[in-house]
A and B are shown apart, each in its own frame.
Chain A
Amino acid sequence: MSTATQPDLFAKVQANKERLDAHVREMVEWHFNPETGCPFWLNWAQEAGWDPRKEVTSYADLDKFGNFQDDELRGGPVRRWVPKGLAHRPVYVFETGGSTGIPKSRVQMDDFRIDYENFSETLPDEHFPKGADWLMLGPSGPRRLRLAVEHLAQHRGGIAFSVDLDPRWVIKLIKRGQLQEAELYKQHCIDQALTILRAHEVKCMFTTPKLLEALCEKVNLEKAGIKGVFCGGTEMTPQFHRFAVEELLGPNIYFAPTYGNTLMGLATHKAPEPEDNWAIIYYPPVPRAVLEVVDFDDATKVVDYGATGRVRLTTLTKETFIPRFLERDECEREAPCEQYPWDGVRNVRPFSRFQKSVVEGVY
């Protein structure tokens, strides 16, 4: 793999840094200008007593905001997040979480389209043919993914067929210990997918790791006509990556793992190389979103390349400004590469700091 020590890559990394700093200045100007910013950030600046437009001139300066608290995104009025400069546009609201309590919301106009059009550029046409139809085997309802995948299919000239899938219900079942019910619900979703695959000529699909496994227990996707699978939504381990490529899909179906969420958009994976040993390496859509890996105990400190830390997200679009948001994930920091001359993340997984309990009984 290319590393940041190569002179040409070093130049690219520097150029990207300058591009990112310029983008930060543009976004801060937009979000903190009383003519274009949203009520939340304009109020915030008033209370903070400093003007980001004057004091933020680079990406590094965003540290001055401290860590963004995601509770700010819960509840209404959601219009406090709509930038005045975009107030004339139709607004979508997408939710994340919400199996219990109030979900986090993100308002959007075009971001999901832009993110997925950019992502579309990374998909190989021979495996995701232009004009081909898609199966969207993922969450429905107030999820960004639902509309985003449909837009991706449309952007590439296809039509997306969707299933009904309520992930909040699944989480409730699991929390109640009703695992058999959860399994039945999963089969219900798979049945819908099988019906679509039987009734229509679908060549591409989005799904989550667990649903991909469950679908492949029922059908040989290559025989069903699938050429490319875009997978995301939950954690993928290197072993899952290998298992998906070697056993679920086989050599003729392209596997595109992604890491994303409603706040970020989606990070694309670097094409795997043997030395990666099936590690999944993602690069965020800089400058629209930046991922960093920070020290577990000091979130202002970015860890060294290869070291493990917590994922920190900064979202910088005209629709959404979220500086320094600590995700509930950890990973290793990955060096820039030719295709993506900025930091990436390796093997993202749930944040591992958990409480240990005493085991009662001899086991």
Chain B
Amino acid sequence: MLHLPILRYGKPYRSVDTATAVHYRTRKPYVEASQANVGLIRRDLMSQHEAAAILQGFTTKELIAMAAKASDYFLNHDLPLGETTQSPQEFVEAISATTGLPWVMVRRNMEKIAGVLASMETVLMGLTRLPSLDMLDSGVGDIDGRALSFFPRGDSMGVILPSNSPGVHSLWAPAIALKTPLILKPGSSEPWAPYRIIQAYVKAGVPAEVFGYYPTSHAGGGEILRGTGRGMLFGDVAAAKAWSGDPRIEIHGPGYSKIILADDGAASWEKYLDLMVDSVSNNSGRSCVNCSSIWTTGDSRKLAEALAERLAQIKPTAEDDPKAAIAPLANPDVAKRISAMVDSELDGGAEDLCAKVRGTARVAEYEGCTYLMPSVIHVSSKEHPMANREFGYPHVSVVHVEPHDLPECLGPTLVCTALTNDKQLHQRLLANPHIGRLNLGPISTMKISWDQPHEGNLFDHLYSRRAFQAVPELVG
């Protein structure tokens, strides 16, 4: 069986304790990962400043060039994997094996990660808004004659990664170009992508000593977040809540991304049906940017019925089907528990129209795999508990809302696509502090623009600005 070691500042370490991820279909062990004990992590974090010093020895330009090379290596080359190597196709199959994602979705995510690495200069310009990235090397400069200085907030960034989909890795990957070592805890079912990104960077010339890769327990993850200067956490509601009071940690919990249709948008909802289907079901509904609820000032029932008709057409297919539109769950028990939870909240005020159209149960079996088929929950009022929920499969609630309740009724929303020409509503949306990314017009919630970071800006997270004054001869 494949074995993934811990990487202690690049050095492979085989632990006595291991955890196994199983193949989603056969349920047989597929890969074993060394598990880091908490003390080992604490001990390693004592020397994170040394890793930071290594990255400070490179210019940003050099790191950007390495990221571009890493992009190519990540996408197209064989790279080390434990004591063996892994081809790009083997990588696709491995992620599919332990997460259930069809190959086509893995490739899409792979391209997303490679895209960030290849466009690192654009990404950094978007993050920093600096006129020249050389300022990242000197830590000082000026914009239109005004002095500017900043400093790193910590020696490294600890990242607690999820297992749902590899696309999220594009969020932390730029840290290396921002001269910040990475201490990663991979998701138990998706240890692959972070390992491969590290190997791609190393092959491109980034010293292995700036990477920590620690498959570990929940407690080990906590130690990573406590022990690193800055942190990033991908987690469920409970995990996000546990760290919500710590300003050092950027939290990526549930997105509760939404589409709203008001006024003219609500009246002409049919023309946005493709956009809604894509926002709900792209990447099998596993992303925080997938739309989980649609709020309309028009006829919510008609919209929900039409959406249900479309989403009910989604069928399980083989993992290598280039048109695969839905992923099985790696753990069948989880599928059953989620479905039972949804059912427990359906009542006269909330109805799964997609199940009705499909005529079959939400939990489906296909070639030995368990799927959660799409749900379109028509909800009678914005107060109903099912109005604003998120699950890791194509699940969307459709809610009627009065115009004056928008946008306050939406609550925290990672991405909001607003389909309306109502300028006053635009203004209210622009002023709303709970929306992470606002799309005005027909833009899928899934569409990401790398120079428009949402859910926190990595540069602002890793660096802080300081007041600065100096006599001219000292700053040249």
- Could you tell me which A residues sit within 8 Å of B by CB distance? 177, 179-180, 183, 209-210, 213-214, 216-217, 237-244, 247-248, 277-278, 356, 358-363
From the candidates B37, B255, B389, name the one contacting A237 in the complex (CB within 8 A).
B37
Cβ–Cβ contact A363 & B234, under 8 A: yes
Within 8 A of A (CB), among B10-33: 15-17
Distance of A140 from chain B, by nearest CB (Å): 23
Query: Which residue of B17, B254, B333 contacts A361 across the interface (Cβ within 8 Å)?
Result: B254
Contact B240 A361 (CB under 8 A): yes
Contact with A along B385-407 (1 / 0, CB 8 A): 00001111000000000000000
Question: On chain B, which size bracket covers the interface?
Answer: 35 or more
Given the known inter-chain contacts A237-B17, A239-B15, A277-B16, please indicate yes or no for A362 contacting B164, CB distance below 8 A: yes
Chain A residue nearest to B339 (CB atoms) is: A358
With a CB–CB cut-off of 8 A, which chain A residues contact B314? none
Q: Is the CB of A247 within 8 A of B43?
A: yes
- Within the complex, the shortest CB–CB distance from B204 to chain A, in Å, comes to 29
Indicate if the CB atoms of B226 and A362 lie closer than 8 Å: no
A177 touches B242 (CB 8 A): yes
Residues on B with C-beta less than 8 A from A180 are: 226
Q: Which of A209, A239, A356, A360 contacts B16 (CB 8 A)?
A: A239
What would 21 A/B residue contacts be, using CB atoms closer than 8 Å? A183-B226, A209-B39, A217-B46, A237-B37, A239-B40, A356-B333, A358-B337, A358-B341, A360-B236, A360-B391, A361-B237, A361-B253, A361-B254, A362-B162, A362-B254, A362-B287, A362-B390, A363-B236, A363-B239, A363-B254, A363-B392
A213-B39, A277-B16, A361-B240 given as contacts; is B226 within 8 A of A179 (CB)? yes
Measured CA separation A319–B348 after assembly (Å): 65
Q: How far apart sit A242 and B43, CA to CA, in the bound complex (Å)? A: 14
Chain B hits for A358, CB < 8 A: 334, 337-338, 340-341
Q: Is B199 an interface residue, CB under 8 A from the partner?
A: no
Chain B nearest CB from A331 CB (Å) reads 15
Among the listed B37, B162, B222, which residue makes an inter-chain contact with A363, where contact means beta carbons less than 8 Å apart?
Answer: B162
Whether B48 sits at the interface, judged by CB under 8 Å, is no
Q: Which residue of A lies closest to B344 (CB)?
A: A358
Tell whether B301 is near chain A: CB-to-CB under 8 Å: no
B19 to chain A, nearest CB (A): 11
Question: Could you tell me the distance in whole angstroms from the C-beta of B99 to the nearest C-beta in chain A?
Answer: 12
- A179: chain B residues at CB < 8 Å are 222, 226
Residues of B within 8 A of A244 (CB): 39
Supposing A356-B333, A359-B236, A363-B236 touch, asked if A248 and B39 sit within 8 A by C-beta, the answer is yes
On whether the beta carbons of B391 and A213 are closer than 8 Å, the reply is no
New A-B pairs, 19, CB < 8 Å, besides A217-B46, A361-B288, A361-B390: A180-B226, A209-B39, A210-B39, A213-B38, A213-B42, A239-B17, A240-B37, A247-B43, A248-B43, A358-B338, A359-B334, A361-B237, A361-B391, A362-B391, A363-B163, A363-B164, A363-B234, A363-B236, A363-B253
Residues from chain A with a CB closer than 8 A to the CB of B420 are none
How many angstroms from the CA of A209 to the CA of B37 in the assembled complex? 11
CA distance A142 to B46 in the complex (A): 35
User: In the assembled complex, which residues on chain B have CB atoms less than 8 Å from the CB atom of A362?
Assistant: 162, 164-165, 254-255, 285-288, 290, 390-392
Question: Quick check: B15 and A360 within 8 Å, CB to CB?
Answer: no
Query: Which A residues are in CB contact (< 8 Å) with B391?
Result: 360-362
Contact with A along B204-225 (1 / 0, CB 8 A): 0000000000000000001000
B239, chain A: closest CB distance, angstroms: 7
B80 at the interface (CB under 8 A from A): no
Closest CB in chain A relative to B16 CB, distance in Å: 4
A242 to B16 Cα, complex, angstroms:
8
**Chain A residues within an 8 Å CB radius of B333:** 356
Determine the distance from Cα of A361 to Cα of B234 in the docked complex, in whole angstroms: 10
